[in-house]
Amino acid sequence: MAKHSRHGTRNTYRFVPVKDFSNNSDIDWSAPVQELDKQLYEKYGLSVEEINHIERKIKAM
């Protein structure tokens, strides 16, 4: 949303959250992908409509 050209500055990525991948994280990064998705949906307060949209657009591997 913030990118208007090919050039990517620090400001371009201001909407990308910084994640803590350490053992102190509030997310269990060792969980299966579907469980990770649920944890992230809850963390960011996504609505049922938003979750359904994501799951329709992104196919699980």
Q: What is the pLDDT of residues 49-58, one digit of tens each?
A: 999 999 999 8
Q: What is the pLDDT of residues 2-57, one digit of tens each?
A: 556 677 777 878 888 888 999 999 999 999 999 999 999 999 999 999 999 999 99
Distance between CA atoms of residues 46 and 61, nearest Å = 21
Please give the helix or strand (H or E) that residue 10 lies within, else none.
Answer: none
Q: Which residues contact 13 (CB under 8 A, 6 or more apart)?
A: 2
Count of residues in the chain: 61
Question: Does the predicted model carry a pTM greater than 0.75?
Answer: no
Domain regions of the chain by residue span: 27-60
Instruction: Confirm if 27 and 39 have CB atoms less than 8 A apart.
Output: yes
